[in-house]
Each structure stands twice: as structure tokens, then as C-alpha cells.
């Protein structure tokens, strides 16, 4: 009894001291707020998040490093690179321009709203991860409707690796530690399919490992990144040192050389640059940068020789080192991240490579001139949409006003490049492009944008052309489209692929516009999009792809699949919009096409 009374007294004293301390802190904050104007809640919260990001201790012992069954770095290439290897360019003395907006202090009300929204995103992300952990652990992806799993990306736990940095950023430290321990056991010497898609492996797996290492500095993550980087590097063991699109593991193990495909989408080779550059920066091994430097040179030297100078055709031939032959041009799937990586490589190399400035500038100018159009919509909104271009036999370009959700990355890329190249005109184009995708979300009854759609380009299809609504013109254009459906919103002539598969590109551009301009419209657009996405995709044990976003909400059907980029990208971008702007600052990090943040040297 005496021991119990003594314990109660200690607890009472502790509570009293805590109450006094808390009261004093509150009074101090009230005094500061009244005497000094609006209190900067962003700074207070940012300091806490920054401490977590940089110094929060792990609750678990570091996992043992387990080597994969194949040491890809020890395999001698039948087609070795020429010596000496290209080296990373030295940093220039002139710093790059500031990218992020200089945000002002928040009011208490704004801070509460923002944090409530961020917490809502956190709940969705936590539910998604817990479902994956319970029903699909160490598998590539979750089947949310049947509580099952799926392996389609070599069987290396794609969702787990793709989500590593998201777990860290969201503050899910125990979940992160458990995932890191699982990563240590992945065997990159084996693939469930026997082949390895070099593009997906690079952006999801290698990108995920590099970013998680940049954030946490866990040695096992860099070790596994080197293992995987050496496997990807094996894809350059070809007669002309150009990469293959798909690596046959059996042939790669032999080291006798691989055969480059005759034709691949241009994004496949063009999206290897950022990750392999970062791997060279972290390891000091220049073989990775040397490999991609040849790609940069190839695209740079041929940029003005295509049928649409400044842009590259949808398909290229690495076997012939031909990136000019072709008459179909797009900024969407098949080519998107090729262009996305031009300004991002410029940032990662601190502006030290002039070729990247030229690649970026020429791409922006050609895209604005030929690929963007102002769509005819009932209210005359000043928006832009990226289309496709076909070149006829006489060399004349013809715009096809079809776009994809994948193309929604473009607004953020224009804005980012505009800041890096000191071009406010490009930032404004980025805003109009992003508004175009936000418009497409809001136009459909589910609040979601279809995977692929068509609109009507104004008579003056240029970005700055006059654009009045013409009902008869819309009816005429939709009659030409066999895919048109009567329930489509006015202004849209098709929803060729009406699905929403949890894609991130629209919120990606909203995130960039918010961080770059600080305009509130982007924060509000992000919240509207999040509510629509979370409500419409919630199904089974987590969240699932939607079959048709053009129907009323009550008629929505879903597919039994939760893509890895749901946690890796979509929810990360939503979370970052509602977080203090120095959490993964664009002036400190470069995000790869899978939203994996690489620390700028």
C-alpha cells in the first residue's frame, strides 16, 4: 500500500510539472503571436519534420547485408566501354536559381486546415500499406478486391521497394525499418519471369533504393542499389554500348553480350540518366555515368535532325543509334520521362552540363509551338492540353487533340524548367497545362480524369489562340469519333480509355505548381482531387483502379489491382502538398519519374 501511494505521488508530481511546463509554453506562444504578428507555424512544424528526416534513431538493429546470388559487378563485359570513362562534370561556381516560392507564415486556421488534410492523406497511405503488409508482403503488388497478391515486376517486392521513401517521409518509422530488413533479403540474381524490364527496374527499384538511402543513410540500401545498378549496367553490354530494353538474365550472367532491340519507345533509354548519375555520385564509380553520358550525347547531337526539330519520335532504334527516324510524336506514354529528365538532370548536375540546358530549351520551345493546344470548352477556361503530332509525307505536322493522364506531368516539368532556366513564360505555360488536367478531373462525375481522351482544338490551335465555345463544332467533331458516348461532358469527344488506375501525374504537376508559385489555387485543387480519388477508389482492403470514371459515382466498378505508384507517387505528392514546403524541398532534392527524391550534391 505504501509503495502504491508513493508511486501515485510520483505520477501526480510528474503530471503537475508537465501541466506547468505546457501552460508556460502556451503563454509564451500567445505572447509571441500577439507581440510579433502571425506566428510561423510552418517553421515550427518544419523543424520537427527536418529533425525526423535527419536524425531520428531507428528502433531496430540494422539488418545484415545479404548478397544476391549473382554478383553482377564481377561479370566481365564482352563489349566493354572505351577508356577513359566519362567523369561527372565539376560543379560550377554559379548556383542554380531558387526553385521554390518563398512562403509566408501561416495563420493558425490555415495551419489547422493543412494539417487536417495531411492527416487524411496519411490515413489513406497507412491503410494502403497495412493491406499490402497483411495480404501481399514481399510480392510486387496487392490485389485489393480479393486480398491477394501479384508478381509482374520480377518478383522483387516492387510495392515494398517503391514505397520505402514514402514510409520514411510519412513518419512511419517502424514500417520503414521492417521494409528495409526485407529489402536486405532480395535476390537480384533471380527474376520471376527470367527477364528484367530495364525501364521499370530503374525507375521503381533503383530509384526507390537510392532515394531511401539519401533520406536514411542505411548502408544496406546503397549496397542493394549497387547490386541492382550493376544488373542494369549489364544492359549496356552490347556491341554499340547502347542499352537493351529487356535484360535476359541467363545471357547477362554469361557476360557474352546482349542484342539491342531494333525499336523501343524513346522513354526507355532516355529515362536511365537520373538514377545512374546519382549512383555514380554516391559511389564514385564513373561506369554508370559513363554509360548514360553516351545517351545524353546521342540525343543532344540529333535533336535538330528529327521531323519535328527539338522533339524525338515516339519510337527510336538503339541498335542503329537512330533517334531521328519516325513521324509520330507524343509527350505522353512512350516518350514522357525522356523530356522530364532533361531539366532534372540539369538540376542534379548543378547546371554543370551545357548539353542539358540545350536539350531542355529546345524541347520546351518545340513542345509549346507544335504539341500544345487550347481546347474548346463551354466556359472558355484558359487551359492548355498536350496533344500528339503526326508528320505527313510532305513533312507537315498535324495535331491530334488526344491526350493521356500520363501527359499531365508536363505542367510540372514546364514550371520546374522555367525556374531553372529563369523563364517565367515557361512557368505560366506550366500553370495553364496543370489547370487543363485539373479541369479534366472536375469535368467528370467521379471527379477523376480518364486514362485517355480527346477534346476539340480551337480553330487557332496555338496556345494563345482565341477560343470561343461552338456547340455545332463540338457536335461535328464528336460525330467523327466512334468512341463518343452520349454521357460525356461537353467539350470531350472521347474517353478512349475511361479507366483511372491510381495515376499520379496530375497531382504531380499540382505539387510542382504549389511549391514553385505558392498560389492557393493549387492547394485547393489538390484537396478536391484527393477527396475524389480517395472516395472513388476505396474498395476491398485498400484502394483499387476504377474501370470507368465517366459514369456516375454509384455505378463505378473497380479492377483488382493497386499499382505500386499509388504509394510511391500519388499519395506522396498529396502528402507533400499539405506538408511544410521544406519537406523534400525542390531546392535540395530532384524527384525521379517515380517521385523518388535524390539529394542534390
Q: Which residues are catalytic?
A: 200, 336, 451, 505
- Using alpha carbons, select from 203, 520, 570, 536 the residue that is nearest to residue 409: 570
Q: With 0-12 CB in 10 A as exposed, 13-18 as middle and 19+ as buried, what is 83?
A: exposed
The answer for residues whose C-beta is within 8 angstroms of residue 523's C-beta and 6 or more apart is: 114, 514, 577, 578
* Of residues 283, 186, 192, the one with CA closest to residue 233: 283
Cell readout for 538 is 476505396
Q: How many CB atoms lie within 10 A of CB 34?
A: 9
Q: How many CB atoms lie within 10 A of CB 570?
A: 29
Give the DSSP H/E element, type plus range, for residue 399. strand 397-400
Report the alpha-carbon distance of residue 593 to residue 581 in Å, rounded. Answer: 20
Q: Is the peptide bond before 121 cis (omega within 30 degrees of 0)?
A: no
- In angstroms, the CA 539 to CA 558 distance is 8
365: burial class by Cβ within 10 Å (0-12, 13-18, 19+)? middle
CA distances from 280 to 217, 226, 268, 357, 425 (A): 16, 10, 20, 21, 34
User: Bridge-partner residues for 558, per DSSP?
Assistant: 546
- Are the C-beta atoms of residues 246 and 232 closer than 8 Å to each other? no
Phi-psi region of 419 (alpha: psi -120 to 50; beta: other; left: phi over 0): alpha
DSSP conformational letter for 202: I
Please name the residues in contact with 172: beta carbons below 8 A apart, sequence gap of 6 or more. 126, 129
| Residue 5 marked ligand-binding | no
CA pair distance 89, 293, nearest whole angstrom: 11
Q: What is the length of the chain? A: 601
3-state secondary structure of 372: strand
CA distance 288 to 170: 31
CA pair distance 557, 564, nearest whole angstrom: 20
**Nearest alpha-carbon partner for 388 in 374, 405, 404:** 404
CA distance 120 to 235: 42
Choose among 478, 488, 411, 399: nearest CA to 449: 488
For 116, other C-beta atoms within 10 Å of its C-beta total 10
Annotated binding site: 593
Annotated binding site for Ca(2+): 593
Amino acid at each position: 500500500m505504501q509503495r502504491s501511494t508513493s508511486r501515485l505521488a510520483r505520477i501526480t508530481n510528474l503530471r503537475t510539472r508537465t501541466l506547468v511546463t505546457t501552460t508556460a509554453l502556451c503563454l509564451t506562444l500567445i505572447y509571441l503571436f500577439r507581440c510579433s504578428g502571425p506566428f510561423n507555424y510552418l517553421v515550427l512544424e518544419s523543424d520537427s519534420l527536418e529533425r525526423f528526416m535527419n536524425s531520428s534513431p531507428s528502433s531496430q538493429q540494422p539488418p545484415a547485408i545479404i548478397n544476391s546470388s549473382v554478383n553482377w559487378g564481377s561479370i566481365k563485359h564482352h563489349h566493354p566501354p572505351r577508356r577513359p570513362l566519362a567523369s561527372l562534370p565539376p560543379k560550377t561556381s554559379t548556383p542554380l536559381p531558387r526553385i521554390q516560392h518563398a512562403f509566408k507564415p501561416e495563420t493558425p486556421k490555415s495551419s489547422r486546415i493543412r494539417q487536417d488534410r495531411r492527416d487524411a492523406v496519411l490515413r489513406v497511405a497507412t491503410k494502403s500499406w497495412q493491406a499490402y503488409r497483411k495480404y501481399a508482403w514481399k510480392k510486387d503488388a496487392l490485389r485489393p478486391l480479393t486480398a491477394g497478391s501479384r508478381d509482374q515486376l520480377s518478383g522483387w517486392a516492387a510495392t515494398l521497394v517503391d514505397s520505402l521513401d514514402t514510409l520514411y517521409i510519412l513518419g512511419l518509422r517502424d514500417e520503414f525499418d521492417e521494409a528495409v530488413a526485407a529489402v536486405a533479403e532480395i535476390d537480384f540474381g533471380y527474376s520471376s519471369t527470367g527477364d528484367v524490364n530495364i525501364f521499370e527496374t530503374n525507375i521503381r527499384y533503383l530509384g526507390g533504393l537510392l532515394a531511401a538511402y539519401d533520406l536514411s543513410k542505411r548502408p544496406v540500401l546503397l549496397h542493394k542499389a549497387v547490386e541492382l545498378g550493376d544488373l542494369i549496367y549489364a544492359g549496356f553490354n552490347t556491341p554499340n554500348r547502347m542499352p537493351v530494353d529487356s535484360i535476359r538474365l541467363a545471357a547477362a550472367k554469361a557476360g557474352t553480350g546482349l542484342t539491342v532491340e531494333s525499336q523501343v519507345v524513346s522513354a526507355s533509354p532516355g529515362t536511365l540518366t537520373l538514377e545512374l548519375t546519382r549512383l555514380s555520385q554516391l559511389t564514385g564509380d564513373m561506369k554508370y555515368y559513363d554509360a548514360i553520358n553516351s545517351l545524353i550525347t546521342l540525343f543532344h547531337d540529333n535533336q535538330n535532325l528529327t521531323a519535328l526539330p527539338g522533339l524525338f519520335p515516339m519510337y527510336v532504334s538503339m541498335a542503329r543509334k537512330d533517334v531521328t527516324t519516325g513521324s509520330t510524336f507524343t509527350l505522353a506514354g512512350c516518350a514522357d520521362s525522356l523530356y522530364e529528365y532533361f531539366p532534372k538532370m540539369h538540376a542534379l548536375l548543378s547546371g554543370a552540363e551545357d548539353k542539358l540546358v540545350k536539350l531542355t530549351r529546345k524541347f520546351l520551345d518545340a513542345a509549346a509551338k507544335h504539341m500544345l493546344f487550347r481546347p474548346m470548352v463551354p466556359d472558355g477556361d484558359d487551359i492548355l492540353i498536350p496533344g500528339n503530332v503526326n508528320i505527313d509525307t510532305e513533312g507537315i505536322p498535324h495535331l491530334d487533340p488526344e491526350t493521356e493522364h500520363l501527359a499531365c506531368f508536363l505542367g510540372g516539368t514546364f514550371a520546374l524548367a522555367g525556374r531553372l532556366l529563369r523563364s517565367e513564360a515557361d512557368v505560366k505555360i506550366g500553370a495553364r497545362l496543370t489547370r487543363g488536367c485539373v479541369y479534366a478531373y472536375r469535368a467528370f462525375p467521379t471527379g477523376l480524369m480518364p486514362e485517355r481522351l480527346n477534346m476539340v482544338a480551337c480553330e487557332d490551335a496555338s496556345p494563345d489562340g482565341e477560343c470561343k465555345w461552338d456547340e455545332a463544332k463540338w457536335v461535328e467533331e464528336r460525330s467523327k469519333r466512334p468512341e463518343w458516348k452520349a454521357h460525356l461532358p461537353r467539350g470531350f469527344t472521347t474517353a478512349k480509355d475511361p479507366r483511372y488506375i491510381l495515376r499520379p501525374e496530375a497531382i504531380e504537376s499540382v505539387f510542382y505548381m504549389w511549391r514553385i508559385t505558392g498560389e492557393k489555387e493549387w492547394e485547393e485543387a489538390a484537396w478536391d482531387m484527393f477527396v475524389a480519388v480517395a472516395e472513388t477508389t476505396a474498395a476491398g482492403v485498400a484502394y483499387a483502379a476504377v474501370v470507368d470514371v465517366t459514369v456516375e459515382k454509384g455505378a463505378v466498378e473497380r479492377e483488382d489491382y493497386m499499382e505500386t505508384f499509388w504509394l510511391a507517387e500519388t499519395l506522396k505528392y498529396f502528402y507533400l502538398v499539405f506538408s511544410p514546403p521544406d519537406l523534400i524541398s525542390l531546392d535540395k532534392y530532384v524527384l525521379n519519374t517515380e517521385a523518388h527524391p535524390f539529394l542534390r550534391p
